[in-house]
Amino acid sequence: MIRFSPVLHIVSLLLILISLFMLLPAGIALYNGDIESAEAFGFTIIFTIVLCTVLWLLSRPKNGTKHHLRTREGFLMVTASWIAASAVGALPFVLSGAIPSYTDAFFETMSGFTTTGASILTAIEPLPRSILFWRSLTHWLGGMGIVVLTVAILPFLGVGGVQLVRAESPGPTLDKIAPKITQTAKILWYLYLALTVLETILLMLGGMDLFDALTHTFGTLATGGFSPRNASVGAYNSGYIDWVITIFMMMAGMNFGLYHKLLNGDIKDIFRNTELKAYLGIFGISVLIITISLLDIYGGFGKALRFAGFQAASFITTTGYATADFDLWPMAAKGVLFFLMFVGGCSGSTGGGPKVIRLVALFKLALNEMRYMSRPLGIFRVRINGEPVKKDFLYAVSGFVLLYLLCLMVVTIVVSIFGTDITTGFTTALVTVGNIGPGFGKIGPTMNYAFYNPFVKWVLSAAMLAGRLEVYTVLILLTPSFWSRR
């Protein structure tokens, strides 16, 4: 039987942590004399802390013990945390008047925390800087994972941190880079913070002010894509900025455990990493094809390479930034970008999508099946990183891909029922479940999601959550067996 008390206890702590991060945009609002936004953040902070403190006290374990989550409660806690964080995070948008509709505000916030980057905003630059900062900060918090952050900062929870992080982490496996999961979470966030500082400095050297550099860094490293500019990164028209963000998007799409190995001098493990080689190989081939198709448009290899590299990195990492209206590009370029929507970043990265490791595993499995058909007596094993893969891993990957495609089909049907053409409908499903953001058709790089009705926006919010939590974590809550007393 599901115990709700430990779930409520931890979710309330997480919401208090989220509200404390709102002090940053509240400070920006006060600095800029934006009293309305400051009051919106202030009310949200006070309301959340008071309410969640009461809930935390009411759900405390008795006799001074600690809550210990069981597996099912862990899944429920992770899903509830992301929904609650989005519900609270949407309040400043509504209270400040920046986004009057709570449905739109929830959609925008869920898109931020899940690092999707889909937006309902038709005009971004007129909004207060504090609101835009909070909008981008949701990316940064959601990129590495709000539950991972909680495990790192609040180690006294004693609630089985491994299963919580596993339920939230992107990818089919969880790489523990330290003996304790708390240490692993801290190391990941230290690496994340270090890259944040580095990219911010490099963008400022390219001419951005601190605000623009921070907000674009949040969107880059979280592979989210929110920008304080209507024209996204293209507003700066800078080759230097384009290449800096391209490089950091690719870095964010890599397994963060590899950076820890690099710092420890484990170079051999990095070079033999199958997923990394496939990730870079797919990116390189895609960039080459797109560059060739853009030569006539941009009139030179260097400029074509710059735009091709940026957009390919944006799509494969599911970031969603744009420097050009790629919906107007030749079909060959758009075809490659469409393919990259099905790839995603590496496991253990901040990227969304199916993940490279799953595609590699399925591709190798398919090759083995063809070998077996021609040599029925042969014994063939799928190998990743030079090691044979267990069948349980392949079963999990196959199940994930099936559920992922099922989610795409359901969302496409729902969106199409409300009058959207099939291109826009399928692309909408693909970019929300895959946490990509912009797509083709009516949700292209110069468009937004404002035209969808409220019901569709709630469905898309659920799709973004399912995609960010790797489908299983959310869909398992919909099965009768999950709620059974056994």
Other Cβ atoms less than 10 A from the Cβ of 214: the count is 22
Task: Give residue 114's pLDDT.
Answer: 94
Torsion over CA: 115, 6, 159, 54 (sign): positive
Task: Give residue 155's pLDDT.
Answer: 55
Helix (H, G, I), strand (E, B) or coil at 384: strand
Q: Which residue has the higher pLDDT, 486 or 357?
A: 357
Average pLDDT of span 99-124: 95
Task: Give residue 486's pLDDT.
Answer: 66
Average pLDDT of span 391-410: 91
Average pLDDT of span 258-264: 87
Q: Is pLDDT at 337 greater than 80 in this prediction?
A: yes
Task: Give residue 73's pLDDT.
Answer: 81
pLDDT (tens digit per residue) in 345-367: 998 888 888 999 999 999 999 88
Torsion over CA: 429, 435, 436, 437 (sign): positive
Residue 472 confidence class, pLDDT cut points 50, 70, 90: confident
> What is the rounded CA–CA span in Å between residue 161 and residue 233?
37
**Lowest-confidence pick of 277-291, 370-384, 417-431, 463-477:** 370-384
Tell me how far apart the terminal alpha carbons of the chain are, to the nearest angstrom.
Answer: 6
pLDDT (tens digit per residue) in 3-39: 788 889 889 989 999 999 999 999 999 999 999 999 9
Task: Give residue 163's pLDDT.
Answer: 55
Residue 71 confidence class, pLDDT cut points 50, 70, 90: confident
pLDDT (tens digit per residue) in 233-251: 999 999 999 999 999 999 9
Q: Is pLDDT at 63 greater than 80 in this prediction?
A: no
Average pLDDT of span 254-277: 88
Task: Give residue 180's pLDDT.
Answer: 62
Residue type, 420: T
**Cβ-proximal residues to 431 (8 Å cutoff; 6+ apart), any chain:** 116, 118, 320, 341, 437, 438, 439, 443
Task: Give residue 194's pLDDT.
Answer: 94
Average pLDDT of span 267-289: 93
DSSP 61: P
Task: Give residue 32's pLDDT.
Answer: 95
Phi and psi at residue 329, to the nearest 5° = -75, 165
Task: Give residue 151's pLDDT.
Answer: 63
Residue type, 287: V
Number of alpha carbons in the 13 Å side-chain half-sphere of residue 128: 26
pLDDT (tens digit per residue) in 138-182: 999 998 877 676 666 555 454 455 555 555 556 565 555 555 667
Q: Which residue has the higher pLDDT, 30 or 469?
A: 30
Task: Give residue 442's pLDDT.
Answer: 86
Q: Average pLDDT over the chain, rounded to whole? A: 89
